[in-house]
Amino acid sequence: MTLSITLVMGVLFLAILLFIFEWVRVDVVGILMMIILPLLGLVTPKEAISGLSSNAVVSIIAVIIIGAGLDKTGAMNSLARVLLKFAGKSESRIMVLISGTVAFISSFMQNIGAAALFMPAAKRICRQTNIPVSRILMPMGFCAIIGGCITLIGSSPLILLNDVMKISDPNIEPFGLFAVTPVGIALIIAALIYFIVLGRFILPAGDGQEGSSGPMSTNLEQTYQDIGNLFEIQVPDSFDGPKTLDECDIRPMFFTSVVAIASKGSTTNFSPDLTETISGGDTLAVEGPPELVVKMVRSFGWQIKEDLEIFAESLSPNNAGIMETIITPRSELVGSTLQTFSFRKKNGVNPLAIFRGNKTFVGGISTMILQPGDALLLQGPWEKFHYLKEKQGLVFTEDVQGEIIRSDKMKFAVGSLLLALTMILGFHVQLSIALLSGAMAMVLSNVLSIDEAYESVDWMTVFLLGGLIPLGIAFEKTGAAKLIAETIMGTIGTVSPLILLTVIAILTSFFTLVASNVGATVLMVPLAMNMAGTAGADPRIAALVVGVACSNTFILPTHQVNALIMRPGGYKTLDYFRAGSGMTILYLVVMMAAISIFYGI
């Protein structure tokens, strides 16, 4: 073993330790690699920073921007609404529909984003159908991870694959965008069947844990404990109306706020004032204490629906919520009232309460003279809060969630994605250039501003990728990959290509669990290609096995998606082990079978 091999093995061991024990953030590990490797003479300074300009890093930046543009225009929400109409009441059907859709979206969007996008809708459907949320979120999360294997831009390891392959063999033929699609689809089908057949035995039946049971944050709930929950009310046709909200006297009598009225004529008012009328056949959304809401509907002869129906989408946590804002001394509200200022009409949000002097006021707040330091509790669409926070005189106590949806730009966002795909498939333009063209089309068509494009990029991932690519160069350049490959081959002896690739898949799955999937890719691709070369197998197929096996991370909640669903699903580490063990074995079997069938081994 030469000195350079000893040094690169030491650097590799350091990187793995840093990944496992998380002494520093993963992007810091990448930057350390860019510094340590050239200082030790293992790579040249040019090679040390070559990762930042690599095809893989540029591609992942562009993919993130394209995904952000689709999200900004509500394109993915529109797709979700259409598909979820067909969910029905069957647990298996709901699971397949949600998980399959998330897998599809993950094929061209970050899997963490796809899972986060669908999670509120999945939880809402579970409430409506009385299906434990834990039965849906884990299949959805697993399919989001696997969905990254449908295209070559679906996950960081596959985006990185062609670049790392060229480290071992500069003349090797790169994989195309859909080269991995048959394997990815086979894995998705296997995962869905796995949960359909065994889901009731391996998934917990808990209802999950939420930071907040309503549209407020936990901190606000501690202050405004008596504000209540959101309800949908049906006004029967026999109602003696129309009557104005002022005439109904709902807030003073029942400490309940009407936050939306959907009339029979399909018009909806999301900030009704006291002059707004309620007629027979209308549907109301109200915020109030459950016992008082029940008393109110009995008084008027109305009906409480089991869950939100008409307002399920518009008032979902994705689109609306409750915020607290403080009136500053310079605010034009000081000395005025909410009613005389026409606060609802001007801002499109509903005042629910005023907090003053350690007291919460709900009734009569429309006519209270406002003072500096008053806290207003407001309900409304996130979009309205984003506009409101730009006004002087009001300071929000928490970050405003959501964002302003630019639905008028949806066609440009979808067009930008189609442009990138057309360039890749129709004109065989290099992946990074085609995706960058799609990302720039988003900017030029004003789907995103250039600043928003920069802000959307996960720079932690960028520097992790950029820093680990030179580690792969050093691993190959010093002969360390070849030495390890020869050692492993000497240990296992002469084996068939199928057994060799299976060993590579198992090793990759192990490294993915203990380190990052990007780190496993950089480590295992040169190693696998050297092992394949020694055994007479195809190095390209060995590299592909590594790229796909890097998504085999189900046993522990170490993947971002698994961590995302852990608390909402009420999962424990043991739950991942129980469901993930079988999934890991199935993943390996189906992956090897699919690669054997579609590519030959």
pLDDT of 473 reads 92
Domain membership flag for residue 353: yes
339 vs 211, 224, 246, 275, 366, CA distance in Å? 34, 22, 12, 11, 5
pLDDT for residue 203: 92
Q: How many residues does the chain have?
A: 601
Is the same domain home to 326 and 259? Answer: no
**First-to-last C-alpha distance (Å) of the chain:** 32
569 domain-assigned: no
Residue 214: per-residue pLDDT: 52
Q: Is residue 264 part of a domain?
A: yes
Give the residue from 489, 419, 485, 517 showing the smallest Cα distance to 19. Answer: 517
- Asked whether residue 294 is domain-assigned, the answer is yes
Question: Do residue 328 and residue 273 come from a single domain?
Answer: no
Same domain for 334 and 373, yes or no, is yes
The answer to whether residue 360 is domain-embedded is yes
DSSP element (H, E) containing 56: helix 55-72
Q: Is residue 224 located within the same domain as residue 287?
A: yes
Q: Which residues of the chain have pLDDT under 50?
A: 210-213
Determine the pLDDT at residue 90: 83
User: What tokens were used for 433?
Assistant: 């250039």
pLDDT at res. 7: 96
Residue 417 is which amino acid?
Answer: L
Q: Give the separation between CA 43 and CA 46, rounded to whole angstroms.
A: 8
Number of domains the chain is built from: 2
**In 294-325, which positions are buried (b, 16+ CB within 10 angstroms) versus exposed (e)?**
eebbeebebebeebbebbbbbbbbbbbbbbbb
Contacts 24+ apart (CB under 8 A), 361-364: 362/226, 362/227, 362/251, 362/255, 362/257, 363/251, 363/252, 363/255, 364/251, 364/252
Domain boundary among 279, 304, 329: 304
The confidence score (pLDDT) of residue 122 equals 81
Instruction: Output the pLDDT for position 211.
Output: 44
Distance CA 194, CA 277 (A): 52
- Looking at the structure, do residues 331 and 296 belong to the same domain, yes or no? no
Residue 362 falls inside a structural domain: yes
Of 304, 329, 345, the one marking the end of a domain is 304
Q: What is the pLDDT of residue 601?
A: 76
CATH of residue 344's domain is 3.30.70.1450
Quick one: 299 and 335 in the same domain?
no
**Pair 294, 225 in one domain:** yes
Query: Considering 356, 371, 396, which residue would you say is the last residue of a domain?
Result: 396
- Are residues 327 and 296 located together in one domain of the fold? no
pLDDT, residue 212, reads 44
How far apart CA 185 and CA 420 sit, in angstroms, is 22
Residue 340 resides in a domain:
yes
Q: Are residues 259 and 331 in the same domain?
A: no
Q: Which domain does 390 fall in, by range?
A: 320-396
| Rounded CA separation 403/411 (Å) | 19
Q: What is the pLDDT of residue 207?
A: 61
331, part of any domain: yes
Question: Are residue 222 and residue 300 in the same domain, yes or no?
Answer: yes
